[in-house]
Amino acid sequence: MNRVAGLAFFTSALVLAGSPGIRPRSGANDYPAHENAARVSIGAAVIPAAEVKKIFAADLDKAGYVVVEAGVFPVNGHDLDLSALDFTLRADPNAVSERTADADAIAAAVTKPASTISPESAAEDVSVTAGASVQHVSYPDPITGRKTGATVVGVNTGVGVGNSGPRYPSSSGSDRSRLEQQLWEKSMPDGKTTVPVAGYLYFPKPSKKVKSAAWVLEWENAGDRVNITLR
């Protein structure tokens, strides 16, 4: 590597330092789908929903999102000013292309606040502590017919096991922040580069009526355009 090329590499490394992203594959051809343009070669792959769940410990598929891995390879050291917004996903030729979704929006959709359980929806809720148990039971009021409740306190000789617990999926603010951080860390980096970079792109999941073979990942940047048919 000559001095000029070395300086360009070093500069690009500085620009992208601390940026998100994943390790790019050896080349665009190492991705299941790939295309070339004058300044860049791009490879892409749809990450299966089961694999996505392992990577993020969250069901993004159920939340309505699909994850695409993309690798960007500048040709002959061309300087590219990258952004995840350069990418769109077209699942139907007659539909508008979808833009990438932000990590915070996805985290908010996946980690919804815990649902509050009303007395009407909770027929029985038992919590047990060492030496004592508190049981909340509900029953119809003999006069009004509406459900009412009562608290029954019992004494245990040991540590009991209650059948209470969250009836709906719940999450805390820390869960949301952690997922948002994970999504950001692996997302396509923004900024100028002359070296290969890669990252995940998050899109709203196309309708089940559209076959995945028809999905087209589109990239447009400074006059260059690449259309990659995902398979």
Q: What is the mean pLDDT of residues 102-121?
A: 70
In CATH terms, 3-112+174-229 corresponds, of 2.60.40, 3.40.50, 3.40.190, 1.10.10, to 2.60.40
Of the candidates 28, 29, 31, the residue with the CA atom closest to the CA atom of residue 42: 28
End-to-end CA distance of the chain: 36
Longest dimension (CA), the chain: 91
Q: What is the mean pLDDT of residues 90-101?
A: 85
Indicate if the pLDDT at residue 18 is higher than 80: no
Indicate if the pLDDT at residue 108 is higher than 50: yes
Indicate if the pLDDT at residue 78 is higher than 70: yes
Domain ranges of the chain: 3-112+174-229, 116-168
Query: Confidence band (pLDDT; 50, 70, 90) for 160?
Result: very low
Indicate if the pLDDT at residue 162 is higher than 70: no
In the prediction, which pLDDT does 213 show? Answer: 55
pLDDT greater at residue 209 or residue 225: 225
Query: Confidence band (pLDDT; 50, 70, 90) for 84?
Result: very high
What is the pLDDT of the chain when averaged over all its residues? Answer: 75
Query: Confidence band (pLDDT; 50, 70, 90) for 182?
Result: very high
pLDDT digits (tens, 9 = 90+) for 28-51: 999 999 999 989 999 999 999 999
pLDDT digits (tens, 9 = 90+) for 183-224: 999 999 999 999 999 999 999 988 766 655 579 999 999 888
Indicate if the pLDDT at residue 7 is higher than 70: no
Query: Confidence band (pLDDT; 50, 70, 90) for 83?
Result: very high
Decide if 84 contacts 44 (C-beta within 8 A). Answer: no
